[in-house]
C-alpha cells in the first residue's frame, strides 16, 4: 500500500492523488496536519528519500525565511526543528514500501508505483 503525506489544500498533492486514483493504486492518505512525526519516523522518511534534513525543508515557508534560514544547523538540530515545525517539510511525500519521493512534480510518483 502506498502512503501519501499531503496537504489537502495543495494542488500538487491533489494531482498526485489523482495519479494514484486513476491507476487504482491502494493508498492511505495522511493529512500533513495529522502527521504524528517522531524522530525515528522522520529519520526513516529521510532515509527512504535519500535526503539530508535540509533537503526536505520548504525554504520559501515564512517561518524558515523569517527566523531560521540564517542560522547554521547540524543535521540532528534540523531534525529537531522539523519535529517542532512539521509544516516546514516539503510535501506531498509518497512512500511505497522501501521507496519514497517528494511528489513535486507529481509525475515523480510514477517512479515508485
Domains and CATH numbers, the chain: 2-111 (3.40.30.10)
Instruction: Give catalytic residue positions.
Output: 10
Interval 92-112: pLDDT, tens: 999 999 999 999 999 999 999
Which 3 state secondary structure label does DSSP give 5? strand
> Which residue, 35, 30, 39, is CA-closest to 3?
30
Q: What is the pLDDT of residue 32?
A: 81
What pLDDT is attached to residue 63? 85
Q: Could you give the CA distance from residue 71 to residue 107 in angstroms, rounded to a whole number? A: 33
Cα–Cα distance, 64 to 88 (Å, whole number): 7
d(CA 1, CA 33): 21
Mean pLDDT by 10 residues, the chain (113 residues): 92 95 94 87 96 94 82 91 90 96 96 93
pLDDT of residue 41: 94
Q: What is the pLDDT of residue 75?
A: 94
Q: Tell me the C-alpha distance between 106 and 19, whole Å.
A: 8
Amino acid at each position: 500500500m502506498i502512503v501519501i503525506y499531503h496537504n489537502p489544500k495543495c494542488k500538487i498533492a491533489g494531482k498526485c492523488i489523482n495519479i494514484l486514483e486513476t491507476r487504482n493504486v491502494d493508498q492511505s492518505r495522511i493529512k500533513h496536519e495529522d502527521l504524528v512525526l517522531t524522530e525515528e519516523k522522520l529519520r526513516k522518511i529521510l532515509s527512504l528519500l535519500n535526503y539530508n534534513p535540509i533537503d526536505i525543508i520548504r525554504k520559501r515557508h515564512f517561518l524558515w525565511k523569517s527566523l531560521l534560514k540564517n542560522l547554521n544547523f547540524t543535521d540532528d538540530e534540523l531534525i529537531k526543528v522539523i519535529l517542532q515545525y512539521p509544516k516546514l517539510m516539503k510535501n506531498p511525500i509518497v512512500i511505497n514500501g522501501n521507496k519514497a519521493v517528494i511528489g513535486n512534480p507529481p509525475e515523480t510518483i510514477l517512479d515508485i508505483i
